[in-house]
Structure 1
Amino acid sequence: MSQKKLRSLAIILLVVALTGIGSVVVQAQGDDQVTFLSTQFNIVEESEAFRGILDGFGGSVDFIPSEEGPAIDLLRAESESGEGTTDVLGALHGTFPPLANDDLLFDLTDLLTTIEADYDLNDAYVELGKLGTEDYQYYIPWMQATYVMAANVDALEYLPEGADINALTWDQFAEWSKNIYDATGEAKVGFPVKGLFHRFLEGYIYPSYTGGMVTGFKSPEAVTMFEFLRDDLWPYVHPQSINYDFMQQPLLSGEVLVAFDHTARLRDAFEQEPDQFVAFPAPSGPAGLGYMPVVVGLSMPYTSPNPDGAEALIQYLVEPSTQGAVLAELGFFPVVAGAETGDLSAGMQKIADAVQTQATGDAALPALLPVGLGERGGEINEIYRNAFTRIIQDGEDIQTVLDEEGASLQALLDDTGAPCWVPDAPSEGACQLQ
């Protein structure tokens, strides 16, 4: 065996040892088996539900949940060795650029043509799958999700006079939060600070105040935004928010009356007590209604040992019936027209309506997940979290914190060469903070 292959095998084994993606390497793959590596549904309950959906596929699928970094490392190591085990990768949009830059993925244009002969895929998401090229389809859109607000119907009586719950401003939201506190004597608004709260900062509150995610990180508008969070909103946020992973449980228990979270992490509350909760769009700020569409795609590594099976699995996953099942069971929304939603529960219909209202409003300002950071994608989340913790929880000076964390953010962008992404304007070379 060559030195290159030995080195790559060592990398693969190290990834296995550190991440537990053992079955990718050590399980023998049957002739018809498709190995599906996915950065989605990597929570045990979600994995089990998704495996149930995969039972409808005609072949055998080995579903391997993984975090993003280890998945990228594994595919790179398999490429170097020239011997792959992964047939299909399911991942967020931002995972694909570094794999494309390393030339690790098949062109799926022909497969897309086959799929679109039968189904109408979302054109915008198909375009995202080209990663800025004209004629190379790096991934087929698989599903989408986002984050919305949810409220117990008991909280509606405290809305500010004249406020439209489907068109709130952040100032109105803060007033509503204060009204609830004044009436109940408790802070009853909740955020998943231990969970996906960095997406709230990156995709919702920052764009709503600055018009972008990155370039205005330390701007005067960002200072105003953090003053709002610190002085006007956070006094009325439940103190247990720092320990919340998902918001569905605090909503169901009544610990909080209003919450923000990923649609899939609100699902249980709306399924169990659909009449008790309403879903609504995130509020708007001075720059618009910042929101984060989460686009997930399906790709095929060059080293796929079963490309025919991989194509068949991708086709199965975009079938309207499969897309409808994923929505009903896991709360991720279809990317294909005509998805079967006849079995959609009353609660999930409420969430679906809020998603539609949020995305189509006049002030809607979509903010993509961070792009181009590769395996260092987690670092940007920590930067936003650090800024929040230092300012809101530790009481540090806002501009000082933003300058210091902004320097870390700029270093990350410079090191990776990541250009600006929506909602920031395109850049030549690494994105630059103002």
Structure 2
Amino acid sequence: MAASGLRRRSVLRAVGIGAAALSAAACTGFSTTGNGGMLFLSTQFRPADEAERFRGLLGKIAPEVSYVTIEESPFASQVRSQVVARSTQIGMLGGLHGDIAPLADGYLEDLTGLLADLGDRGWPAAYLQLAKAGTDRTWYVPWATASYVLAAHADALEHLPPGVDATSLTYDQFLDWAIAARRANGNRPMLGLPAGPKGLLHRFTQGYLLPSFTGGQITTFRSNEAVTAWQYFRELWANCAGASTNYDFMQEPLASGEVRMAWDHVVRLVHAPEHDPQNWRMLPAPRGEHGLGYMAVITGLAIPKGSTDPELAQRTINALTRPEAQIELLRSNGFFPAVGATIPDGLPPAVKLEADAVYRQQQAPDAILSLPPVGLGQREGEVSKVFKDSFRSIVLDGADIRSTLDQQAGVLQGILDDLKVPCWAPDRTADVCRVE
């Protein structure tokens, strides 16, 4: 369908509210059961309980839409093969930026006009820029987001250095705080980091430390500023609980009192403040010389070329990006609004606390938005392994920083050369991403 047809304002009238929840089953391939209707194919909310909760929300907004989940690799291949064959069976798409952006300008409808018709809903400018996927057109509408923040109990907050604002930390102040807390606690560290087998500490390096110290994630991987960042990490780690190498989800050691301050994904912190929320704070990440680096997990809604029902897809996108639907998604599935939305009372205590920290990160004047790797498919794990191996060698084993970064940069560049993919935020876009 032509882009002009997708712009009709009549499509954007409010959708009716239905009571029935969808019964379409989650899957890892391309099939569904249930009431038929337009197919909404998504990489998100794949666990059965998450999928059912979202279907309940969707059933109130668009009961004629069937929600089907699929893994990332077959998601891309299904869309590409159907569009190329001109036999698209899908009405709309949902996924991470990294799932959708590689399909832009060839497999997706141009949603520039739709976005304009939706009006100013408070999307961060950085999110809208990402939705253009390096072009001058919009290929998806930002849907929801998650991020990583700091959590701190009052026991740790009382050891903040004098005059330091916990909501506007520098990395030096964060280190000073960790040192002061350790010393006040009988030389037992109060800080913990998720360095366990299933922990997400590599996202801290990719999205927080390196962007804040170097301004980049990949292009600056072996820079002199990166050496400084890893020197800092060694000092920070010396003030972390020794059991951090066993921590996968920081909410557990936080809730038990093993540690009293930590960094982790918002979903992995949410249970820590349940019993005494008045004694907890969630804080934005620290900032470095280049700014406040933070990683956002951004999901988007798109329409494939040849959509089975582009008008219904547009109405559904309109409905799902209204503030009230965004709050319901936060309530049901823990993803934060991508639009400007007031977080109401009555949500779990941690959600309110996290929402403020996430907002502060997004709106910081020196914010540096970082993304998980984009366009790597099944090889994303190999790139993450580069960061994990660098941490293990430099921080845990005390290896020489410069030689380690040079060696790991070779591994990283080999993967990028094989895939021939452009860089992702915060690195500048290039035809093929290169470590400088």
| TM-score bracket, shorter-length normalisation | 0.7 to 0.9
Return 256-265 or 340-349, whichever deviates more: 340-349
Q: Which has the higher helix share?
A: 1
Deviations, residues 104-133 of structure 1 (Å, cap 9, x unaligned): 21222343344338x554454233222232
Opposite residue 221 of structure 2, the aligned amino acid is: F
2:129 matched to 1:127? yes
Residue identity opposite 1:369 in structure 2: P
CA displacement 1:315-355 (0-9 Å, x = unmatched): 22112211111223333222233456354455422222222
The one-letter code matched in structure 1 to 2:184 is: A
Q: What is the deviation of 1:407?
A: 0.9
The aligned counterpart of 1:163 is: 164
Is the 1:208–1:289 contact (alpha carbons within 8 Å) kept by the matching residues of 2? Answer: yes
In 2: Cα distance, 1:404 partner to 1:23 partner: 37
Amino acid across the alignment from 2:258: E
Give the corresponding residue for 1:88. Answer: 92
Is there any run of 5+ residues in structure 2 with no aligned partner, and where?
1-24
1:108 aligns with 2:115: no
Q: Give the TM-score taking structure 1 as reference length.
A: 0.84
- Are residue 27 (structure 1) and residue 28 (structure 2) matched? no
- CA RMSD across the alignment: 2.8
CA deviations over 1:158-198 (Å, ceiling 9, x no partner):
22233221222222222322333333343332222323322
Quote the residue 1:3 is aligned against: none
1:264 maps onto 2:267 in alignment: yes
CA distance in 2, matches of 1:157, 1:301: 53
Give the equivalent residue in structure 2 for 1:198: 202
Q: Residues of 2 paired with 1:121 and 1:163: CA distance?
A: 31
Determine the C-alpha separation between the residues in 1 that align with 2:239 and 2:378. 36
CA contact (8 A) 1:202 1:213 kept: yes
**TM-score between both structures, scaled by the size of structure 2:** 0.83
| Partner AA of 2:240 in structure 1 | V
Number of the residue aligned with 1:11: none
What pairs up with 1:63-78 in 2 under 5 angstroms?
63-78=67-82
User: Are positions 1:395 and 2:398 aligned together?
Assistant: yes
Counterpart Cα distance in 2 of 1:272 and 1:53: 28
Kindly indicate whether the alpha-carbon contact (under 8 Å) linking 1:321 and 1:340 is maintained by their aligned counterparts in 2.
no
Please give the secondary structure, in 2, of the residue aligned with 1:90. Answer: strand
Residues 216 and 162 from structure 1, CA distance in 2 versus in 1: closer, same or farther, beyond 3 angstroms? same
The secondary structure found in structure 2 opposite 1:298 is strand
State the one-letter code of the partner of 1:59: P
User: Counterpart amino acid of 2:236?
Assistant: L
AA matched with 2:412: L
Q: Residues 178-236 of structure 1, C-alpha deviation per residue, up to 9 Å, x if partnerless?
A: 33333334333222232332221111001121121112111222122212212x11122
Aligned to 1:213: 217
1:382 aligns with 2:385: yes
- Cα distance, 1:271 vs structure 2: 4.9
Per-residue CA shift, 1:357-416, capped at 9, x if unaligned? 223334432223333435533332222122112222333322222111101222223333
Pair 1:172-2:177 in alignment: no
**Paired residues of 1:410 and 1:433 also in contact (CA < 8 A):** yes
Summarize the alignment of residues 259-298 of structure 1 with structure 2, pairs less than 5 Å apart: 259-298=262-301
Query: Which residue of the partner structure matches residue 324 of structure 2?
Result: 321
Q: Gaps (5+ residues) in structure 1?
A: 1-19
Pick closer, same or farther for the CA change 1:127–1:289 going to 2, 3 Å. closer
Q: Which position in structure 1 is the counterpart of 2:143?
A: 142
| Shift in alpha-carbon separation, 1:215–1:177, aligned structure 2, 3 A | same
